[in-house]
């Protein structure tokens, strides 16, 4: 049976890797709908190759551009807007949804996929961080299957017992060992970080990824988001998770058991491995990834995190401990800070300090419904912009 897949964020790094895996298995998967924000040229290429039923652009003018790039007899229906993106995620004929939109924008369509009982392949960690309890409830109530695609969480999933139902004690689990490459500035001092450029920050030593997650990896906010992501996915607390810097990015994470065993998943730093795992689970399919050569790697190094120089992980622990709307606020402030850094409006060290400033001024509210999350997200963005504006003015004076 061929399974229909909607790829949210198909023109991005994860989206392209997903289409690469799907393209290797036409007998198993079909790209049902592809969605993107504004890159019409890339989308046109993907439409011609994969012939989805729908191609949706967030931006209406990009949809017009896309339509003009497609031949008149192209069977793909071109749509536009955020509502249409959520509709193709929840479409009755869809079996699986790859959630690979970057940032908070992915929340609504990913939630729509969960509520309608799809297999959700979750790359968009920000959606889970913002709305963890709401999202996990939607997965349960909608009868969805949630498969983590983030390489660490995919590794943890693979290293957990197949019957794991959210209780460490029942399975003799002591700890999750969440690995981190340390990013491009591992070992640097706060002083050295002051003058780093966006180009330096997005040049990750091991992984090729979108700009936002690359900056998050450099600040270690990516690990902070992943810590919260793991707490929601595996129903545990930050104290159950130890972050281990492992610069080779070959061990993608581990689970430690009470009998002294540690089970790890190893692989190339290539997202097609977790993507293929999520698509085929519980089976395995070829992902187009070259075999791991342990002699080529030769050694594994492990270090602790320098929390003083990279405060993002501490912020994430605090956000999760406070709970309610605080993780959403942390995430939104970080998105604004990363954008400002990429536009060279602020320095690298200002990213975590701006996030901390916004978190300090937030009074958390209980999340009852999606609107509570969206309001907190909106509030944090406005607050972050306001602080940015006043600090830019101060510098100007």
User: Angle, to 10 degrees, between the axis of helix 13-23 and the axis of helix 272-280?
Assistant: 60
**What would the DSSP string read from start to end of 273-326?**
HHHHHHHHTTS----SPPPP-HHHH-----B---TTT-THHHHHHHHHHH-TTH
Does residue 150 touch Mg ion according to CB under 5 A? Answer: yes
Do residues 227 and 178 lie in contact, with contact meaning Cβ atoms separated by under 8 Å? yes
Do residues 127 and 106 lie in contact, with contact meaning Cβ atoms separated by under 8 Å? yes
The closest residue (CB) to ligand NAD is 12
Chain positions 151 to 170 lying near Mg ion, rule: CB under 5 A, are 151-152
**What would the DSSP string read from start to end of 3-22?**
EEEEEETTTSHHHHHHHHHH
Q: How far is the CB of 163 from ligand NAD (least distance, A)?
A: 26
Q: Which does 207 bind (CB under 5 to 8 A by kind): Mg ion, ligand NAD, none?
A: ligand NAD
Does residue 58 touch ligand NAD according to CB under 6 A? Answer: yes
Does residue 125 touch ligand NAD according to CB under 6 A? Answer: yes
Going 153 to 154 to 156 to 160, the CA torsion angle's sign is positive
Chain positions 6 to 35 lying near ligand NAD, rule: CB under 6 A, are 9-15
In Å, how far from its chain's centre is CA 24? 24
Q: Which is nearer to Mg ion, 50 or 247 (CB)?
A: 247
Chain positions 145 to 204 lying near ligand NAD, rule: CB under 6 A, are 150
- Which pair of tokens denotes residue 13? 């790094």
Chain positions 187 to 226 lying near Mg ion, rule: CB under 5 A, are none
Do residues 121 and 23 lie in contact, with contact meaning Cβ atoms separated by under 8 Å? no
Q: Which does 124 bind (CB under 5 to 8 A by kind): ligand NAD, Mg ion, none?
A: ligand NAD
**Count of residues of this chain found to bind Mg ion when the rule CB under 5 A is applied:** 3
**Count of residues of this chain found to bind ligand NAD when the rule CB under 6 A is applied:** 27
Interface residue with ligand NAD, options 31, 46, 126, 256 (CB under 6 A): 126
Footprint of ligand NAD on this chain (CB under 6 A)? 9-15, 36-37, 39, 58, 85, 100-102, 105, 123-126, 150, 207, 209-210, 212-213, 271
């Amino acid at each position: 049976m061929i399974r229909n897949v909607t790829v949210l964020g198909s023109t991005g790094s994860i989206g392209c890797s997903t289409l690469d895996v799907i393209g290797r298995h036409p007998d198993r998967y079909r790209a049902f709908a592809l969605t993107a924000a504004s890159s019409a040229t890339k989308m046109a290429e993907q439409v011609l190759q994969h012939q989805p039923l729908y191609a949706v652009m967030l931006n209406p003018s990009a949809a017009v551009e896309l339509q003009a790039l497609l031949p008149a007899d192209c069977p793909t229906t071109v749509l536009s807007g955020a509502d249409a993106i959520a509709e193709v995620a929840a479409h009755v004929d869809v079996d699986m949804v790859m959630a690979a939109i970057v940032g908070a924008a992915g929340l609504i369509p990913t939630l729509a996929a969960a509520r309608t009982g799809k297999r959700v392949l979750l790359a968009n960690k920000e959606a889970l961080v913002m709305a963890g309890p709401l999202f996990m409830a939607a997965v349960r109530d909608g009868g969805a299957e949630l498969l983590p695609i983030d390489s660490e969480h995919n590794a943890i999933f693979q290293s957990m017992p197949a019957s794991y139902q959210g209780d460490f004690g029942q399975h003799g689990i002591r700890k999750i060992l969440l690995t981190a490459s340390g990013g491009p500035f591992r070992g640097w001092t706060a002083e050295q970080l002051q003058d780093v450029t966006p180009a330096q920050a997005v040049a990750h030593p091991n992984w090729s990824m979108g700009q936002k997650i690359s900056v998050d990896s450099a600040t270690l906010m990516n690990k902070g988001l992943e810590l919260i992501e793991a707490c929601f996915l595996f129903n545990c607390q930050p104290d159950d998770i130890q972050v281990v810097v492992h610069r080779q990015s070959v061990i993608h994470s581990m689970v430690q058991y009470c009998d002294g065993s540690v089970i790890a998943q190893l692989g190339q730093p290539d997202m097609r491995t977790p993507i293929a795992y999520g698509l085929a689970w519980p089976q395995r399919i070829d992902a187009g990834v070259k075999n791991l050569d342990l002699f080529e790697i030769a050694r594994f190094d492990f270090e602790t995190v320098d929390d003083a120089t990279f405060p993002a992980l501490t912020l994430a622990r605090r956000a999760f401990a406070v709970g309610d709307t605080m993780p959403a606020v942390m995430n939104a402030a970080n998105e604004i800070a990363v954008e400002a850094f990429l536009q060279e409006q602020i320095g690298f060290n200002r990213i975590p300090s701006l996030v901390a400033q916004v978190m300090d001024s937030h009074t958390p509210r209980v999340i009852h419904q999606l609107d509570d999350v969206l309001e907190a997200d909106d509030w944090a963005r406005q607050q972050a912009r306001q602080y940015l504006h006043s600090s830019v003015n101060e510098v100007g004076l």
